[in-house]
Structure 1
């Protein structure tokens, strides 16, 4: 229930001193609301996850954070907006993480076939001139026909702005937290709302945790004479965990901002129980791997050596099930033994772009491993990354599930590094993000006596019983994969198999130094899972949080992470 709120709030009256905080942007004097109705054309998505046929979405948030994804099918977004006085000309600015078939205002089509440019140019947007003749004084309606709700990784780049070219009024609202990384360890859980308005306005201020539990939904009235408001959340958000905070201001138009706040993340509750039979399950897998001759083979790639300051090879090795897995191997041209880093891949990535490795002249050995089903190791085992994909491959069978073999691929890669004369076997590290983060945790635990340092970014699969509650579309994905095989087992039995491959259960077995780099906006592999593992690690560890980044942006800290690993492997 929305309610007027006066508690927890202190206002600071400021004059022109802080006017520099606000710059005119594309959301200035936006006539369109940020909350839209969403309705699906098919009931297909409703049966797999209990979704509502009609609901609402906020453009400040990603589709996936709100429980929607591409597999849900075609949908209609609609909203009403008011025009007090008609102006001479209007522009509609659009950027959406989906395909747009048609845009209609008051029944008139104003744009068609707008493509999703998230992967090619996520800052691009379409500019559409809206004729005054189709608008009316008072209430208007806009309807957008959408398909293929696109992946974002957590940060919404959606822009839906309708503004008059003649209106120069600038309105803005944004949120800030007391710490640069948005991690609150003490009683400093105060969110500051910075706003600019030329008239009395309302701000809808909402707080919910990562499990979608609402903590506050309030309407705050503000006036032009003020520009800053502090919201004290110390009592409301006292439980360690992760909180999404949004503010939507409605004055002459609409503007908004969303942020995440981490509250004492190292104290966040996590389940340290492992699945029944977990130890025996992985002991058996390692025994099976040990019985297979590795048959390491190196193939020097002269064309790549010419582009690199290190020698470049493709390595082959036999892994679980006698499957051949491969990787790109980079060796310094200096004599002696070197520190080494095993790089493990994210889901669906097979190190197709190795330019970063080729251009790196660090005196370090690196192995970019393509686990089974990925890159140059997808020749025999190739379930793809859709349905059922690697994650959903034979998901009812604990002996055949893909990650049993994939984790052993990583163990075999460590066997390879330890066998090499150019590698110092006491200075081996492992790193990866997303699926690679999960592989990093598993490798560091399964090879705990051979790994000196590891670095991971928001891992998968990790703390899956909770992840499917945070990233709710995971439930739909699992059910689709189960249906692909004809539902040979129950959904609960699927979760029991997931328990056996859950990398959270490996965390307590890690002995090396650990770096975790959480991205607070990540809705693909939410930080709850990363910290669930982190909080069970007993070896030396540290984390560096990135407050404004999602899953995609989380992969941009390669230099910092490698510098950390180099330092740890040189100690």
Structure 2
């Protein structure tokens, strides 16, 4: 597959204007306040018996947007002391799957929390367990256009809020060191991690957006040659005249806008032959990222798979230097 975007030297200087509505911050303050006021009870953990018997495995249910129950997994070492924690968000149409799918972080000494993505979990992997009880108007199959005519109704308003509410819940868990919480995720998960970092500021110590999706919507919708951004293209091809409303909605959910509000050190990745997430959309967020402590790993000859476990090893070294005693 050929390079899908600008040359690397141009990507490193790519700082396009990103449309931000005047009420961006007020919109998100109100959204999160509404979600917290909705209640839904405390997070619940239930220990899971199974073949993983050298780590603690727990089924998690926590209140997300609207107080809706959202599922997750917690996998962690046995410890009498609070541990550094990694919250992982999942890629597009994947679910939390099974605990055995992701043991790397727990085996490395971290509490590892995986969030199910509401309504998703049937496109790949081993399934999801969280419903999205909120409807939308007409939409293209998939999730990108659900409620896209109004920011208040847009699908990712609920998902981003779920991730912030998960952080609220995780910070109260007795085995979590609330001063050493990191966010990570690949593709959609990277985009959700980036948005969450922008919404919570210094409440997280690090963020690792891996080939992050959901950035620079204007360019991505116009130029990305593959799904899922093409869901929006197809919607606009039918709903002629909706372009202004659609892009206004998307301006509240752009990872490049959240990047300017993020305070935590960040370790991004990008793949230069990626036809699902354009490299320029990743650099649009990376080059605007607010913390001076930021790095990006470039995988020149990879598509959307990026660095895979090679990149995880780099993440583990980078994060260990910031969160594990004796590694700094």
41, 54, 71: which one pairs with 1:309? 54
The aligned counterpart of 1:409 is 162
Whether the 8 Å CA contact 1:330–1:367 is kept in 2: the answer is yes
1:480 and 2:234 aligned: yes
SS at 2:144's partner residue? helix
Whether the 8 Å CA contact 1:270–1:535 is kept in 2: the answer is no
The aligned counterpart of 2:316 is 562
C-alpha spacing 1:368/1:492, structure 2 compared with 1 (3 Å): same
Deviations 1:124-158 (A, max 9, x none): xxxxxxxxxxxxxxxxxxxxxxxxxxxxxxxxxxx
TM-score, length-scaled by structure 1: 0.51
Equivalences for residues 416-565 of structure 1 within 5 A: 416-472=169-225, 476-481=230-235, 487=239, 490-539=242-291, 540-556=293-309, 557-565=311-319
Post-superposition shift, 1:440?
1.1
Deviations 1:268-316 (A, max 9, x none): 232254123211211111111121224211111112xx41421111111
Hey, what's the Cα distance between the residues in 2 that align with 1:331 and 1:342? 12
Whether the 8 Å CA contact 2:88–2:183 is kept in 1: the answer is yes
Hey, what's the Cα distance between the residues in 2 that align with 1:358 and 1:267? 37
347, 355, 362: which one pairs with 2:100? 355
The aligned counterpart of 1:144 is none
Deviations 1:400-447 (A, max 9, x none): 111001001100111111101111111000001111111111111111
Structure with more of its chain in strand, by fraction:
1
264, 271, 295: which one pairs with 2:42? 295
The aligned counterpart of 2:124 is none
1:346 and 2:91 aligned: yes
Post-superposition shift, 1:356?
4.3
Equivalences for residues 208-223 of structure 1 within 5 A: 210=5
TM-score, length-scaled by structure 2: 0.87
Whether the 8 Å CA contact 2:79–2:175 is kept in 1: the answer is no
Runs (4+) off by over 4 Å: 380-383, 472-476
76, 80, 95: which one pairs with 1:335? 80
Post-superposition shift, 1:555?
3.4
Deviations 1:170-194 (A, max 9, x none): xxxxxxxxxxxxxxxxxxxxxxxxx
Whether the 8 Å CA contact 2:88–2:184 is kept in 1: the answer is yes
Hey, what's the Cα distance between the residues in 2 that align with 1:324 and 1:482? 32
Equivalences for residues 105-504 of structure 1 within 5 A: 210=5, 242-243=6-7, 262-293=8-39, 294-303=41-50, 306-358=51-103, 360-375=106-121, 376-381=128-133, 387-472=140-225, 476-481=230-235, 487=239, 490-504=242-256
C-alpha spacing 1:382/1:348, structure 2 compared with 1 (3 Å): farther
> What runs of 5+ residues in structure 1 fail to find an aligned partner?
1-59, 66-209, 211-241, 244-261
C-alpha spacing 1:454/1:335, structure 2 compared with 1 (3 Å): same
SS at 2:75's partner residue? strand
Hey, what's the Cα distance between the residues in 2 that align with 1:378 and 1:370? 6
C-alpha spacing 1:285/1:382, structure 2 compared with 1 (3 Å): closer
C-alpha spacing 1:546/1:391, structure 2 compared with 1 (3 Å): same
> What runs of 5+ residues in structure 2 fail to find an aligned partner?
122-127
Q: Count how many residue pairs are aligned between Structure 1 and Structure 2.
A: 311
SS at 1:495's partner residue? helix
Hey, what's the Cα distance between the residues in 1 that align with 2:140 and 2:19? 30
Post-superposition shift, 1:450?
0.8
Structure with more of its chain in helix, by fraction:
2
C-alpha spacing 1:307/1:61, structure 2 compared with 1 (3 Å): same
- Which has the greater radius of gyration? 1
Hey, what's the Cα distance between the residues in 2 that align with 1:377 and 1:283? 28
Whether the 8 Å CA contact 2:21–2:251 is kept in 1: the answer is yes
Post-superposition shift, 1:317?
1.1
